[in-house]
Chains A and B, each alone.
Chain A
Amino acid sequence: QVQLQESGPGLVKPSQTLSLTCTVSGGSISSGDYYWSWFRQHPGKGLEWIGYIYYSGSTYYNPSLKSRVTISIDTSKNQFSLSLNSVTAADTAMYYCARQTASSYNRFDPWGQGTLVTVSS
C-alpha cells in the first residue's frame, strides 16, 4: 500500500524559501503510471493545486504560483520536493502531497497527512 509523508520546516521567515519533501513508501516513484502533486490549503479555506512532476522530471505548475515554484524529483530516494521562494504570510498553509494517476481518470489518491507551514518573522 503506497503511503506519502511530507516533511520540512514548520516555520519560514518572510522573503525566504519554503522547502518541503514528500517521501513515497510502498511503491516506486519511477512508475510511469503516476504524476506526483502538491496542494495547499490556507487555514479554514479551500484547496489549491500547486503543481505536479512526472518521474522523467517534466513539470506543470499553477500559473498563479509559477514564478515562485519549483518541484523536483529524486528517484533514488523515492522522494519529490516543493520549493516556493519569496514567501509571505499569504503562503501560510497546510501543504499536502498526493499521487495522481497519469491517465484520463486523474485520480488523486493517496495523500500525505499534510504539514503546516507558517510564514512569520
Chain B
Amino acid sequence: DIQMTQSPSSLSASVGDRVTITCRASQSISNFLNWFQQKPGKAPKLLIYTASSLQGGVPSRFSGSRSGTDFTLTISGLQPEDFATYYCQQTYSVPYTFGQGTKLEIK
C-alpha cells in the first residue's frame, strides 16, 4: 500500500492567516492526490482533486500544489469556517489511502 504522511498533525492559526499543510507519498503517485475538509460530525468534503484542481463551489482561498511526491494544501486568508481537520488521499492505486489528518485550530 502507498503510505501518505501528512504534517503537521495539528496547527493553530488565526483568522486571516495563510497556512500550509503537507502530504508526502511513499512512492510516486503522479498528481493523483485529493484534499478533503472534515468538520466534527460531518462527512469529508472534497476541496482539491488531482493535486491542484479546485472542486466546484470551493472558495478560491484554497489551493493545492505538487513537487515530486510532496503535496501542499494552502489556505490563504483563513476564515472562521475553515477550522476543521484536513486529509490528503492518494488515488494512484488501490487501496486508496489517506494521510492521518491535520487538525486546524483557532489560536
Q: Are B34 and A112 in contact (CB under 8 A)?
A: no
Is B62 part of the binding interface, using a Cβ–Cβ cutoff of 8 Å? no
CB atoms of A108 and B94 under 8 A apart: no
Q: How far is the CA of A105 from the CA of B97 in the complex (A)?
A: 16
Binds B, one of A17-25, A46-54, A70-78, A85-93: A46-54
A55 at interface by CB-CB < 8 Å:
no
Chain A, interface SS category? loop
Contact (Cβ within 8 A) A47 B87: yes
In residues 72-121 of chain A, which contact B (Cβ within 8 Å)?
96, 98, 104-109, 111-114
Within 8 A of A (CB), among B47-105: 49-50, 53, 55, 87, 89, 91, 94-101
Q: B91: which of A62, A106, A113 is its contact (CB, 8 Å)? A: A106
A63 lies within 8 A of chain B by Cβ: yes
Q: Which of B1, B36, B43 has the most CB of A within 10 A?
A: B43
B96/A46 in contact, CB under 8 A:
no
Does A63 contact B87, Cβ atoms closer than 8 Å? no
A47 adjacent to B44 (CB under 8 Å): yes
Q: Would you call A111 and B44 a contact (CB within 8 A)?
A: yes
Contact string against B for A residues 33-57, beta-carbon threshold 8 Å, 1 for contact and 0 otherwise: 0000000000000111100000000
B49 touches A107 (CB 8 A): yes
> What would 16 A/B residue contacts be, using CB atoms closer than 8 Å?
A46-B101, A47-B36, A47-B44, A49-B94, A49-B95, A49-B98, A63-B1, A96-B44, A105-B50, A106-B49, A106-B91, A106-B96, A107-B34, A107-B46, A108-B34, A111-B43
* A interface residue numbers (CB < 8 A to B): 46-49, 60, 62-64, 96, 98, 104-109, 111-114
